[in-house]
Each structure stands twice: as structure tokens, then as C-alpha cells.
Amino acid sequence: MKLVATSVVKNDGDIIEAYVRHTRAWTDHHLIFDHDSTDGTREILGALVREGLPLTLFSGESAENLQQARSNALTKLAFAEHAADWVLPLDADEILVMPGGRAALERALASCPDDRPASIPLRNYVPTSDDDPSELNPVARLQYAQRRASTTMKVFVPRALGVDPNITTGMGNHAVFRAGARMDATPLTGALLAHYALRSPAQQALRILSGELQKISRGKASAGLAMHYRLGFQLLAENPEQFFATIVQPPEAHAHEPAPYLGGSLRHTAAAHEWSRAIRAVVPLLEQLALSHGSLVDQLGAAAPTDASAPCEVIRPLITDEIRPPALASAAAFSGFAAIAGWEPQEGPVPEAFLPPFHWATGPETHFTITADSAGVAQLEAEALTYANDQETTILLNGTEIHRRRFPRVNQKENLSLTLRLRAGENHLLFRHSAWLETAADPRKLALIFLGLRVRRQ
């Protein structure tokens, strides 16, 4: 059986050698498209080709987000030029695991129908405080997996589908479509992909910064792919300590089940500090964005005057209420109120979503009480986001509307700072939601995620 792997990679220099060597144990050839990596990924791939590994490299000129189109093109090449019986579209952070090795994989694929894709689940591994920082190979370094099972599946493509012009893979190679309709997949018994999307704080910071900056630079910042980077980007800008604490997990919260690595020793992965690779990768991106902006300024003739005698712009007093207060310690992140309804128990952290500990607020409304010994003023501070489109939340205090907030972008954290005029005794605070998520898998009416909700008496 001829097995060919395909991959589209970018700035995966910390794992690319381990990934390619391990995947070699399962496949006959590997087609890799490198999307302008600047962190050493391309150099490592070149060294692996010169070493003699069955590896073909590709690149392109477009700066657009064409990852799925490129992956589909590699799949077609694998069938057309490498006589593949099955194509394994894999990311550089996915390590194939199956007891019995390649022979067992071939038997499992042979038992699958040739007119349907095969599906394989992911198991997420995370960095912990027990990791050995001297170990260069992330597969060996990251030995703890999340206990909860992932519902995410990847697909392998048989030849009968791959040569059909009406067949495409989509959704990041998580599904196969025939003429736009998603096809059912056959579970690949006994196999899984150990998933190393989270490898270190520096790697995650690089991934988020480059992904979000490229997305914003294309315009239409609230549309398109990679919306899940937004919260991580905001945490890096506002509270990096919280971001890093979310990424590195306590080992006791996870299962110690190191994935078997079949690739042998690393020869080309440098022992540079992890932040060196991240900085090396992100600086060319920042320079490219700055040069692009400068070129637009030149074209518009809108360069700022340098003469000190030039007229000043209109200035205004800085309103202190617009200055967000420093982040509070996590113990005080939810304080000063009592939850009555529409408030779920604390969850998280969820590092793959960049979520520190949080609470869900559910629809149609979330009800709190605030008890005051005497009438007076308090400050409401909240950090909230939503996964529901077109979400608007109305806030009422003792039956009177005091604020209305529209959430313009999914997964973008909104900071609220409101003055509350409390009466003596019990006060009722309502968050009334216009939209929420409700699915068969989770029937709760999930409206808002609160990263913090505090009421402080002044």
C-alpha cells in the first residue's frame, strides 16, 4: 500500500524535524508546502531533503490565506504523481500514534471502504511545569495529555475519492466534501493523532501575533478565518502574565501518557532559546507590515509634519474612567456579588482557546444581587466575550437600564467599567442577552464568557 503525507507549514521550526522524521515511519513520501517561514523551518526542511529523506518541498508567492487550497493541490499531486493509495493530510503538530506500527495502519486502512474518507481523532498535549526545558524534541518533552476526549477529527483520503474532481477536503482537513456536501467518514480503529498545537509560551505568542496581525492587515478584521486568535492577542497586549499562566498547566490536571516517537534523533533542530525563534519569525512580519503602511502613507501624501510650529491636533482632557484599571489577582476576578440565575460554575483554564478560569453567563438573562450596607456608589468592572454572532447585552440595575453593549466580533474581549448607584440593602443586577449558543452537545444557552466580573465599593 502506497501512503503519502501532505502538509502546509509555517514557522514550525521547533517541531518540524521531529514531525517529518516521525511521519517517515508511516509513509512512503511527504509533500510539504512552506508558507514563507522565517524561523528556520525552511532551512531544516532543506537539510532533511539533502539528507535523503523522501520529501518534496513547495512554496508560493501569494501572501493570502490559501492553506486549504494548497493542501488540496498537494493531495491531487500525491495521487497523480506519486501513485498514492491513501493520502494523509497532516499538520506539523500532529503525530500519528497506532499500536503495531505501519503494518497495523495498512490493515486498518484496507478494511475501510474505498468510497469514504477515514477519520482519526486528535488528542491534545499541553506544556506543563514538569516539562524538561533541555529536551529539544516537543514530542519527548510534552508528556501530558488532556483527560477530556477531543471531538475533533482529521480525515485520510482514499484514492477512489482523491482522483474524483468533485471531491475536496475542507475545514482544515477535518472533512471531505463531494460537490459541496460533507461526506460521512469511517473511524480508523486504533489510531489517533497526538496534537501538539500548544508547545511553549513563546511558540503560542508567535502563532497568535503573526496570525492576528496578518488577519488585521488584510482588512475586514471581523471577517474570515482565525477569529480564535483574538482573545489570545488581547491577553498578550493587556495581561501577558495571565496568558502565560494559562498556557503552562499543572501536570496533575492531565494524564501522563507520552506519545511514542518513531523518528530517531534530531540532527538539524537548533538548541536556541525558544524566544529567539519567536523573535526571528515575527520581526520580518512586523517589518513587512510597517513597510506596507509606510508605502500607503507615501501614496496618500499623508505624512505627518515634522515642523514644531505646525498646527497641533485638537486635544482633549483624558477621562480617567476610560483608563482600564490594572488586572486584579485571580482570587478577586469574580467578587462583590451573589449569582442568582444564569451563572455557570467556574471552568478552565482552556489553553487551546487561550481561556484562563472563566464563567459562562447563560440566556436569556443572568441575575446577580449586590448587598450594600448603605446607599452609595460602586464600580462594576467586567471582561467578557461571546461566541454568538450579533450579541448585544443590556445591563439593568434595579429594573433601570444603565448600559447596552454590542459585541462587534466573536472572541473579542470587551472591557466594561460602569458606575453603579446602589441603594441600601439588596440590589438586583441583570445582564439580558440577545443571542446565545445552544446545541445538542451542550443544551445550555451560552451567551457570554466572563473572564472577570467585580463590583467594588468606592
Whole-number Å distance between alpha carbons of 224 and 217: 12
* Domain boundaries, position 148: 3-199
Please report the pLDDT score of residue 295 as a whole number: 85
Please report the pLDDT score of residue 65 as a whole number: 57
Please report the pLDDT score of residue 319 as a whole number: 63
Please report the pLDDT score of residue 30 as a whole number: 98
Is 232 a domain residue?
no
- Report the chain's mean pLDDT, rounded to a whole number: 89
Can you tell me the mean pLDDT for 89-96?
Answer: 97
Please report the pLDDT score of residue 321 as a whole number: 55
Higher pLDDT, 288 or 323: 288
Q: 224: pLDDT confidence band, cut at 50, 70 and 90?
A: very low
- Count of structural domains, the chain: 2
Q: What is the pLDDT of residues 143-180, one digit of tens each?
A: 999 988 788 899 999 999 999 998 888 888 889 999 88
Same domain? For 10 and 152 the reply is yes
Please report the pLDDT score of residue 326 as a whole number: 52
The CATH number linked to 375 is: 2.60.120.200
Whether 444 shows a pLDDT value over 50: the answer reads yes
Please report the pLDDT score of residue 329 as a whole number: 47
Whole-number Å distance between alpha carbons of 65 and 223: 13
| pLDDT > 90: percent of the chain | 63
Parallel, antiparallel or unpaired: strands 186-187 and 118-126 = parallel
Is 224 a domain residue?
no
Please report the pLDDT score of residue 34 as a whole number: 94
Whole-number Å distance between alpha carbons of 151 and 97: 17
Query: Are 31 and 77 contacting, i.e. CB atoms less than 8 angstroms apart?
Result: yes
Q: What is the DSSP string of 210-248?
A: HHHHHHHHTS-TTSSS-TTHHHHHHHHHH-HHHHHHHHS
Is 8 a domain residue?
yes
Please report the pLDDT score of residue 222 as a whole number: 45
Element (H, E) at 298: helix 274-300
Q: 331: pLDDT confidence band, cut at 50, 70 and 90?
A: low
Q: What share of the chain is helix, strand, coil (3-state, %, to 5)?
A: 30, 30, 40
Residue 453 pairs with which residues in a beta bridge? 334, 382
- DSSP class of residue 138? H
Whole-number Å distance between alpha carbons of 201 and 218: 26
Please report the pLDDT score of residue 62 as a whole number: 63
The CATH number linked to 162 is: 3.90.550.10
Show which of 151, 168, 199 is a domain's final residue: 199
Is 145 a domain residue?
yes
Can you tell me the mean pLDDT for 229-240?
Answer: 89
Least confident of 143-152, 154-163, 203-212, 299-308: 299-308
Q: What is the pLDDT of residues 342-355, one digit of tens each?
A: 999 999 888 888 89
Is 260 a domain residue?
no
- Grid coordinates standing for 58? 513547495
Please report the pLDDT score of residue 95 as a whole number: 98
Same domain? For 42 and 182 the reply is yes
How far is the first Cα of the chain from the last one, in angstroms, to the nearest whole number? 72
Same domain? For 12 and 151 the reply is yes
Whole-number Å distance between alpha carbons of 183 and 265: 39
Is 289 a domain residue?
no
Is 362 a domain residue?
yes
Q: What is the pLDDT of residues 97-122, one digit of tens each?
A: 999 999 999 999 999 999 999 999 99
Is 354 a domain residue?
yes
Whether 259 shows a pLDDT value over 90: the answer reads yes
Whole-number Å distance between alpha carbons of 131 and 247: 13
pTM over 0.85: no
Residue 29 pairs with which residues in a beta bridge? 4
Show which of 199, 224, 247 is a domain's final residue: 199
The b-or-e profile of 265-288 (16+ CB within 10 A means b, else e) is eeebbeeeebeebbebbbeebeeb
Please report the pLDDT score of residue 323 as a whole number: 54
